[in-house]
Chain A
Amino acid sequence: MKSGGIMLRGKFGSKLYKGVLTAFLALLVVVFVFPIVMTTIHSFKTPSEIKSEMKPIIKSSDEEEQNNQQSIGEENKYVQLKLIPSKATLNAYYDILLAQPQFLMLFWNSMRLTAPIVAGQVILSVLAAYAFSQLRFRLREPLFFAYIVVMLMPFQVTLVPNYIMANSLGLLNSEWSIILPGMFNAFGVFLMRQFMQVVPYSYIEAARMDGAGHLRILLTIVLPMCRSGIAALAVLAFIDNWNMVEQPLIFLKDAIKQPLSVYLAYISEDDIGLAFAASVIYMLPAILLMLHAEKELVEGVQLSGVKG
């Protein structure tokens, strides 16, 4: 009797706990996806609706207009983000994708910066990580520590020297001033080493006994075992570089070479109606990649935290 009562209470308690827990998590989710959802919703509004919605915060240089704004009624004093567009259209998308090709060109710029960095980083990291994880050599520990230090540095720390380096190599205002340093990102080496350390040393030893060279061991034994590691690195490198803003601002002088991220960060009032659709198009590759390679992404992040 008694134990049954406790069980009942326990069951009810755990149900209540689960309900409260789910509600709490759901509330947090609303906060977390708020910017993403709002951006997406606004991308379906007509550019003119967005412009009129944004009126309270668009800074107009015109004194007269500013005075006018202050005399507008209370309800127009603040931007009100409406959850439902008064008219849902694909107008903004049409403008971006077909009518105004410069958006696509900026998107293409982003691709042209990101793709070589991801490819280069994967190849270089795989090679270096093989040495760090499977070979025994004298400077291994101090060199690896140096890589970790490089990995931890904020961008601003190496900004001036990097700028001077790019300048003396004649790379300023060329994509290569961003692509080359990006390819040599130390994080990739660190992450690939974490994945490769799982490969037992005895496998390598046995293959060596059979006369296989290191390149062959890397290609036929280590790489197939680290497939998810490569995917994880590619995803993380893509996300990181797709998001870049500081480097292009400093290294690329021509507006025509800038990636879409820089354009979005400094979007002008005239284009504000299109900004949301452009934002959605810009985050789409990252979101698709996350959904497609969720497992690898999670694994990559988690393995970066396992110490070797």
Chain B
Amino acid sequence: MDGINFGRRLLRVFRSDGSYAALFLIPSVAGVTLFFFLPFGIGFYYSLVDTPIDGKLVGIRNYIDLLSNNSFKRALWNSFLFTALCVPINMMLSLLLAGLLNGKVYGQRWFRLSFISPLVIPVASVVLIWQIFFERNGTLNGWLEAWGMEPVDWMDSESAMFIVILIYIWKNVGYNMLLFLAGLQNIPEHLYEAARIDGAGRWGQWRSITIVYLTPTTFFVFVMSIINSFKVFRETYMLAGPYPHQSLYMLQHFMNNMFQQLDYQKMTSAAFLMASTIVLMVLVLFTVERRFNRWL
């Protein structure tokens, strides 16, 4: 008797979940739809028509135009190059820092705090110092000349890319370091003990335990590093304005300038291409990761 009642009540609980879920989700879903899903759909439509108001469908012509546009090609290449350079550097440095800070280190908390402080500092507060430092007549060149080296026009030459990579690393290393630290702390200590008993050295332990157990974290850090590499635009823009040296002209500059020039077709096509690439990349990475986890 009681059992049947219990079963019925249980059934009711599960059955009602859907409608309650709707109640809890409506505010958020409505807003996200209004400000993200819907605009994104509109944007996709714009990328298929010749003009935003009363335009006719032109299929993929905007995309063909875009792909033959020289500043788009440059922006695409620069964005790719930037991501390909800064993500591995960032991951290696943050893994190194996490490894160093994982054990007992004197002043550990303050080290950790220093490395995550760029994460919280508003860029606007420090951009002035960066500018002064890397200007043609800035501090860095002053030092270089004092040491008898040739001054470099940092922001107005090919080296501008390195400056922005430096700033990206400065900003993002702390975030990745925290993720790696969490990953390292989640590795059961007894695994290392067992390996030591089996006679594994430091390198052996690192290779057979740490790397394997850190792989899921590494996947996530990889994805986040790429995503964050797209967000470096803010720093670049404040440092060098809307038309920086050509080695720094990235997809976001292109989109931003297309927006300023009211060329919505080019901009939305570029945006849609970028979004598709991101989604595709994330899907591929997560599939690979799932495979890997199953293998593990």
Contact = CB atoms under 8 A, between A and B. Distances in A.
Contacts of A103: none
A219 interface: no
Interface string A120-152: 000011011011100111101001001111101
Contacts of A79: 132, 135, 137-139, 142
Interface residues of B, number: 100
A256 interface: no
B296 interface: no
- B contact patch SS: helix
A102 B251 CA distance: 35
A159 B117 contact: no
Contacts of B227: 152, 154
A147 B33 CA distance: 10
B124 A243 contact: yes
Interface stretch (A4-12, A87-95, A223-231, A285-293): A285-293
B119 A162 contact: no
Contacts of A245: 123-124, 234, 237-238
Contacts of A157: 40, 43, 255, 271-272, 274-275
For this complex, into which size category does the number of interface residues on chain A fall?
35 or more
A163 B259 contact: yes
Contact of B21 (A32, A135, A260): A135
Contacts of B112: 298
A78 B21 contact: no
Given A279-B128, A280-B125, A21 B120 contact: no
A200 interface: no
Interface string B116-140: 1111111111111111110111110
Contacts of B28: 124-125, 127-128, 184, 189
A39 B128 contact: yes
A209 B32 CA distance: 33
A131 B117 contact: no
B121 A32 contact: no
Contacts, number: 290
A65 interface: no
Given A39-B126, A156-B233, A301 B121 contact: no
Contacts of B34: 165, 184
A295 to B, nearest CB: 11
Contact of A32 (B23, B128, B170): B170
Nearest to A235: B120
A198 interface: no
B224 A305 contact: yes
Q: Which 5 A-B pairs have the closest CB atoms?
A: A161-B39, A78-B142, A184-B31, A128-B28, A302-B182
Interface of B: 9, 13-14, 17-18, 20-25, 27-29, 31-32, 34-43, 46, 97, 100-101, 105-107, 110-133, 135-139, 141-142, 145, 170, 175, 178-179, 181-183, 216-217, 220-221, 223-224, 227, 230-231, 233-234, 237-238, 251-252, 255-256, 259, 264, 267-268, 271-272, 274-275, 278-279, 282
